[in-house]
């Protein structure tokens, strides 16, 4: 308990200076940054690649147990390099002093095992420390002139990060890819970060990799889509809608059919819509600036109405259920209103001088 309290204090102190230490490429664990920043920027990059007919690659890196692989000696060196004083670093070392773990196997506990790497599970400070540890990799990629990124209005875009979810944009792939993999190998030697090559995905634009390149780097080369931060990215931007809303619709329809068998009253069913269905659809609303046809909203409303009334004839108008409880409704979410709000939110951020994101400069200029 006291360890977590101490870690929380250190984490709180880091919050105010994190935006100065961590580049805008990294949106994980930094205040006022969110996954939607990465996705909106990625869509802008993809649109630029397509419209300018650029030979390029998007690479989604898959790390092997990223949080558990951080070497402590590397961590302490990174903290010193970022300018943290000895007193603060000693506080971190206290948290990582001779920790042990035991493995439960078939109901039996092993002897104590000394841990020598990895951020502490459940520690409030772990996410911040990992963000600091992976920032040197992002900086090395940005500063390596032999790894060519996507130039948009005078700014080069190479990396998008949310914690250990790393997406890379490169041009001149045959050259840049080899330099990138060599850099990742060096980073692995210092930090312990190890790439899972077979789970690393790539999306190629106007580029066919040579057979020897495919053989050397055993990526998922032939996939028409890659999944990044819960969104399916497609080469053809016109297919974003069907590749994202199609699967989520199947999941929701299947879940509702299963939930319909449960002995639930109307209030419980509405709560299920709020807690399970709405968050899944809302995330796509916030992540993808796509126009959704009216027939899709009508279809969602039919599914929800059928689920709420358990396939019986509705006794109250659907719009009445969407009213606030103080006005006689049941506060059933109106998906179309959430969609409009989600589409307007980037406009608010776009107009706010205090909101920093790289997609803003891409769109403003």
Q: How many CB atoms lie within 10 A of CB 11?
A: 19
Q: Which helix (H) or strand (E) holds 80?
A: helix 72-81
pLDDT, position 212: 85
- Both 175 and 29 in a single domain? yes
Please state which of the ranges 122-126, 208-212, 286-290 shows the lowest mean pLDDT. 122-126
Q: Which helix (H) or strand (E) holds 61?
A: strand 56-61
The number of residues in the chain equals 365
pLDDT, position 255: 96
The residue out of 180, 215, 235 marking a domain boundary is 235
The residue out of 189, 205, 235 marking a domain boundary is 235
The answer for 332, left when phi > 0, alpha when psi is -120 to 50, beta otherwise, is beta
Cα–Cα distance measured from residue 151 to residue 278, given in angstroms and rounded to the nearest whole number = 37
- Both 279 and 220 in a single domain? no
- Both 252 and 208 in a single domain? no
Cα–Cα distance measured from residue 75 to residue 360, given in angstroms and rounded to the nearest whole number = 32
pLDDT, position 221: 80
- Both 206 and 101 in a single domain? yes
Q: Check whether 97 has a pLDDT greater than 80.
A: no
Q: Check whether 98 has a pLDDT greater than 70.
A: no
- Both 268 and 192 in a single domain? no
Cα–Cα distance measured from residue 27 to residue 35, given in angstroms and rounded to the nearest whole number = 7
pLDDT, position 323: 93
Residues 145-168, mean pLDDT to the nearest whole number: 93
- Both 95 and 162 in a single domain? yes
Cα–Cα distance measured from residue 314 to residue 311, given in angstroms and rounded to the nearest whole number = 8
Q: Phi/psi at 208 (nearest 5 deg)? A: -115, 115
**Highest mean pLDDT pick, 99-108, 219-228, 267-276:** 267-276
- Both 224 and 250 in a single domain? no
**Highest mean pLDDT pick, 116-120, 139-143, 153-157, 207-211:** 139-143
Q: What is the per-residue pLDDT across 43-93, written as a single tens digit (0 to 9) for each?
A: 999 999 999 999 999 999 988 777 777 888 899 999 999 999 999 999 888
**321, 330 contact by CB (below 8 A):** yes
Q: Which helix (H) or strand (E) holds 148?
A: none
Q: Check whether 117 has a pLDDT greater than 80.
A: no
Structurally, the chain folds into a number of domains equal to 2
Q: What is the per-residue pLDDT across 266-310, written as a single tens digit (0 to 9) for each?
A: 999 999 999 999 999 999 999 999 999 999 999 999 999 999 999
Closest CA to 363 of 149, 36, 44, 53: 44
pLDDT band at residue 32, thresholds of 50, 70 and 90?
A: confident
Give the residue ranges of DSSP H helices in 225-365: 240-259, 266-272, 278-287, 294-308, 318-321, 335-351, 358-364
The residue out of 181, 201, 235 marking a domain boundary is 235
- Both 75 and 187 in a single domain? yes
- Both 192 and 229 in a single domain? yes
- Both 134 and 70 in a single domain? yes
Cα–Cα distance measured from residue 267 to residue 192, given in angstroms and rounded to the nearest whole number = 50
- Both 293 and 343 in a single domain? yes
**Contacts of residue 113, Cβ cutoff 8 Å, sequence gap at least 6:** 100, 101, 102, 103
**96, 33 contact by CB (below 8 A):** no
pLDDT band at residue 115, thresholds of 50, 70 and 90?
A: low
- Both 228 and 244 in a single domain? no
Q: Check whether 3 has a pLDDT greater than 80.
A: no
pLDDT, position 69: 77
For residue 257, give its domain range. 240-362
């Amino acid at each position: 308990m006291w360890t977590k309290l101490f870690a929380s204090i250190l984490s709180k102190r880091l919050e105010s200076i994190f935006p100065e230490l961590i580049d805008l490429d990294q949106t994980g664990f930094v205040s006022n940054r969110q996954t939607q920043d990465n996705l909106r920027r990625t869509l802008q990059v993809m649109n630029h690649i397509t419209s300018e007919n650029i030979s390029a690659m998007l690479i989604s890196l898959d790390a092997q147990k990223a949080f558990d692989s951080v070497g402590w000696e590397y961590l302490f060196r990174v903290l010193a390099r970022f300018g943290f004083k000895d007193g603060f670093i000693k506080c971190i070392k206290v948290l990582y002093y001779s920790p042990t773990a035991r493995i439960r196997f078939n109901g039996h506990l092993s002897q104590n095992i000394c841990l020598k790497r990895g951020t502490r599970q459940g520690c409030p400070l772990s996410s911040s420390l990992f963000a600091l540890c992976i920032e040197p990799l992002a900086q090395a990629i940005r500063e390596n002139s032999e790894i060519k990124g996507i130039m948009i209005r005078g700014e080069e875009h190479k990396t998008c990060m949310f914690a250990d979810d790393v997406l890379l944009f490169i041009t001149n792939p045959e050259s840049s890819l080899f330099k990138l993999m060599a850099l990742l190998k060096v980073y692995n030697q210092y930090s312990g970060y190890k790439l899972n090559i077979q789970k690393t995905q790539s999306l190629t634009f106007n580029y066919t990799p040579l057979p020897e390149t495919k053989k050397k780097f055993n990526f998922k080369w032939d996939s028409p889509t890659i999944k990044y931060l819960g969104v399916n990215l497609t080469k053809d931007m016109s297919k974003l809608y069907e590749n994202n809303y199609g699967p989520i619709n199947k999941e929701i329809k299947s879940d509702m059919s299963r939930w319909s068998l449960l002995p639930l009253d109307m209030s419980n069913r509405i709560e299920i819509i709020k807690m399970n269905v709405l968050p899944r659809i809302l995330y796509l609303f916030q992540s993808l600036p796509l126009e959704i046809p009216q027939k899709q909203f009508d279809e969602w409303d039919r599914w929800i109405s059928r689920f709420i009334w358990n396939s019986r004839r509705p006794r109250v108008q659907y719009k009445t259920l969407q009213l606030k409880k103080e006005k006689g409704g049941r506060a059933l979410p109106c998906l179309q209103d959430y969609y409009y709000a989600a589409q307007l939110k980037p406009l608010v951020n776009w107009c706010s001088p205090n909101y920093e994101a790289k997609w803003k400069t891409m769109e403003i200029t």
